[in-house]
Amino acid sequence: MIGIRTVRNKLLLVVLATNAAALSITAVLMVAYDLHTFRETLQNDLSAQADVLGLAAGPALEFDDPEAAKEYLELLRAKPIIHSAAIYTSKGAVFATYSGTADAHTEFPKIPESDSYQIRGGEVVLSKRIVSNNEILGTVYFSAAYEPNRRLRDYLGILGLVLAGSLAATVLMFLRIQNTVTGPILDVTAVARRVMEERDFSLRARKTTHDEVGVLVDAFNSMLSEIGNRTTTLEQSNRELQREIAEREGAVRARDRSERRIRTLVSAITKVVWVADWRGHITEESSSWQTYTGQRFEQYRDAGWLQAFDEQGRKEVELAWAHAANVPATFELELRLWHAVTERHHYVRLRAVPVIDQDGGVAEWIGAVQDIEDRRVLEQSLRTLNTELEQRVADRTSQLQEANKDLETFSYSVSHDLRAPIRAIGGFCTLLVQDHAAQLDAEARRKFGVIQSEAARMGVLIDDLLAFSRLGRKALQATALDMRELANKAYAQLTRDQPDRKVEFRLGSLPTANGDRSLFEQVWVNLLSNAVKFSSKKENATIEVGAISEEREHVYFVRDNGAGFDPRYGKNLFGVFQRLHGNDEFPGTGVGLALVHRIVTRHGGRIWADSKLGEGATFHFTVPKESSGGAV
Amino acid sequence: MHVSERSVKAAFLYKFASYVQWPDVDAKTDAPITIGVIGATDFARELAEITANRTINSRRINVRRLTMGTSLDDLEILFIAKEEGDHLPQLLSAARDKPILTVTESDGALSSGSIINFTVDQDRVRFEISLYAAEKSQLRLSARLLAVAQGVHRGPEPGQ
Amino acid sequence: MEQFEEVGILLVEDNTFDAELTIRSFKDQKLANSVTWVKDGEEALDYVFRRGAYAQRTGSDPRLILLDLKMPRVGGIEVTRELKSNELTKHIPIVIMTSSNEESDIAVCYKLGANSYIVKPLDFTSLAEVARQAGYYWLAVNRGPM
């Protein structure tokens, strides 16, 4: 116990004090009451006793029997508190006496007129008249012990014990249950102490009760968090402030540095550089200007520098400046400025940059002038060259176009015109054989047959050639083509006349392509007819058609498992009239693939083939997803 | 001063009334107590003086001088002076049937049938009581009276 | 040129051999006994309109005209135009038989009112077949206004 410095001790003290006070007050009251009742009780008791005695002794008095009276008085021996007693006659004479103690010298005073009850010192004296039938027979007199002090002492002794015991019990109980009150307080106190010592505002007190202490805990905690926040905020803003200061210092240093740099730069530059105020008046000397234009400072200061430009240039500068007065922005002009050395105006580029101050207004203008005379000249010649070149290209192109056209018209008309004689040759041979069969022997017939077939072949060649040339002249009409439909149609057309050929035709789904419909019909016909033709010698011919969509193009393929070709000669495949098989092996003109190649390349695609001799060939061609526009 | 014997007896006489309970008390609460005195005219007079303003249990006291042969009706107490000692047995037997407190002052009067008999003992007036007689007369006597009696005879006197 | 009693088909063809072959095929098909052959567009028009060399022509209008396009002087297109724009002759079916596969030609011909357009195949057999079919259709099958 360390005195009254802790809440617990204070509480204890309070409890004890209240207890003691309550008990004391109670004690005092009880004592007072007891005292009062004691006296009253005594009085009543004695009075009653006197009455009883009086009643009993009445006859003795009435019938003058002092002995009987004395006998009655002797009964008082049973009440030791009564020290002495006496009965007086109605005339006030002592009738009978009694003395509780052995003391025979007890005084019996003269009795008062009326009943009395007096407390004298340690004695209480009572005298009560005996009345019967409205007659006073006599008086009873008592003298009894009055020792309230002893009683008081006893009483107080007991009370004292009670008090002590109660307080002791209080202390014990207190010690046991004080925790429920002081415990939470001590907890909060402990946390508070830690917070103060460690300056750790993240600590929180535990709320264990829902009374005022609980409220305290809540308030405490919220204050802590508030403090914590504020501290954090403060620290943050502190850091930011410091950072800003550092930045500012850095900026200031940088600015100083750049200023110095600029000044150095300006003086180091060989270009013409000038500085003007917001009105456009040159205020500082510019040696480069002087060197270039020949003007001296008095001449070019303020607005004098404008004079160095030619009349046109001057106007332009004034205009630009008037404009810039409203909208301060960098501007560039190409003007002619007097060049002192060569004594003529040179083309220069003038560039003026406004320096904006922090209010948004123009502090000053910085200008640079670049001599572009040489460049100008160069530009000029370049332009002329360009134009010439373009002209030449245009000429050449039109020449080529013309030549192309001529060529194609020529090949068209030639092949067209060639058809007629071939028709005649073949036709007349047929007629010959028909009409003069009798005069012809087998050999003759055979010879005519040769003429016929060869003529026919020439016709096919010419047809192919015709188609080939037509292709060149034809304009591409690109539409979205259902390639699958085209391939299917082509195949159907090809196999229509050969229903007994067993060919497995696998046609996958083909993506739509952008191209000329009739041309791609041709492509499918040619490729498929090739596939059919070259697999004609195989029992189980399979022709596959499929496609892959790549990022920028669709890649279609036609695969057959026919004769194939020697891949070493692959590059000749698409040449006009190029054949990799003899006519006896497989008939053909060699134009078909050239045609396909032409068509595909005109659409901006590529075509190639791979093969394994005897196992088949695959022809791939691509169609770009975006239309190529078609070359002429 | 030497109070006369008769005065004392007179005082005692009416005081006896306080200690006697007559039968049918309820019916006669207001009625006065009548004391009949036979013989001793002076006694009667003195008694009348003493009891003039006195009450016993709020009842007034009447004193009547009786002669021999007078009716004993309406008497509560009958005092027979010793002068009439010869007539004691007659009077007492007449009174016996009635609820009358018979008081005598003759020696051995109890055996004649009186209820209270005055005696003198060393110059002091005392009395003796016959409870037997009281019972016979349907009277009840307070124990307090008995306590101050010189003697209390409970049973019948010899010869009764 | 030969002239037949009954005129059915007017063949307008400048190529002699082509003409011979065509006529021969008609003959073979038994459609030939009424084929008149003229060598150019002008002659054809003269024939139909009975003017020039054919001013004295009697006989009905040809029931079918087989017309080549590329001919000297007056070409097939011109002939078509003339005949189809003339009330009296526009009923005559004109089948253009030519080597040209030019789409522009085809379009123009149809626009002018040609009834049919056939490209001359290379071999005679096919030619004969084509001619036969055309003739068969227009002469035997089709019912023209009379």
Question: B126 to chain A nearest CA, in Å?
Answer: 8
B chain contacts of residue A75, beta-carbon cutoff 8 Å: none
Question: B144 to chain A nearest CA, in Å?
Answer: 6
Chains C and B touch (3+ CB pairs under 8 A): no
Q: Specify the pLDDT at position A413.
A: 74
User: Are the Cβ atoms of A423 and C18 closer than 8 angstroms?
Assistant: yes
A108, A548, C55 from C78: Cα distances, Å = 192, 51, 20
Which chain C residue is nearest to residue A420, measuring alpha carbons?
C18
Q: Which of A422, A428, A430 is the closest to C122 by Cβ?
A: A422
Give chain C's residues under pLDDT 50.
1-5, 7
pLDDT one-digit tens code per residue, A322-378: 888 778 888 888 888 888 888 888 888 888 888 888 787 888 888 888 888 888 888
Sheet holding A135-145, edge to edge: A94-99, A82-89, A135-145, A123-132, A116-120
Give chain A's residues under pLDDT 70.
1-4, 102-106, 111-113, 266-270, 412, 415, 472-473, 576-589, 627-632
Using an 8 Å Cβ cutoff, are A609 and A617 in contact? yes
Cα end-to-end distance, chain C, whole Å: 28
Chains A and C touch (3+ CB pairs under 8 A): yes
Q: Specify the pLDDT at position A257.
A: 85
Amino acid identity of A406? D
How far, in Å, CA of A329 to CA of A321, rounded? 10
Chains B and A touch (3+ CB pairs under 8 A): yes
Res B3 pLDDT > 60: yes
Using an 8 Å Cβ cutoff, are A133 and A120 in contact? no
pLDDT one-digit tens code per residue, B71-125: 777 888 888 888 887 888 888 888 888 888 888 888 888 888 888 999 888 888 8
Using an 8 Å Cβ cutoff, are B70 and B47 in contact? no
> What's the distance, CA A91 to chain centroid?
122
User: Are the Cβ atoms of A68 and B56 closer than 8 angstroms?
Assistant: no
Q: Specify the pLDDT at position C2.
A: 43
Using an 8 Å Cβ cutoff, are A618 and A558 in contact? yes
Does B147 reach chain A within 8 Å, measured CB to CB? Answer: yes
Amino acid identity of A402? E
| DSSP state letters, B134-151 | HHHTT-EE-HHHHHHSSE
Which chain A residue is nearest to residue B58, measuring alpha carbons?
A133
How far, in Å, CA of A349 to CA of A372, rounded? 6
Upper half-sphere CA count for residue A68 (Cβ side, 13 Å): 23
Q: H/E element holding A398?
A: helix A373-435
Which chain C residue is nearest to residue A461, measuring alpha carbons?
C122
A chain contacts of residue B8, beta-carbon cutoff 8 Å: 64
Q: Specify the pLDDT at position C4.
A: 38
Q: Is A305 exposed, middle or buried (0-12, 13-18, 19+ CB in 10 A)?
A: buried
Res B29 pLDDT > 70: no
C chain contacts of residue A456, beta-carbon cutoff 8 Å: 122-123
Res B143 pLDDT > 80: yes
How far, in Å, CA of B114 to CA of B117, rounded? 7
pLDDT one-digit tens code per residue, C38-50: 988 888 999 998 8
A chain contacts of residue B128, beta-carbon cutoff 8 Å: none
Q: Specify the pLDDT at position A630.
A: 47
Amino acid identity of A618? T
> What's the distance, CA C71 to chain centroid?
13
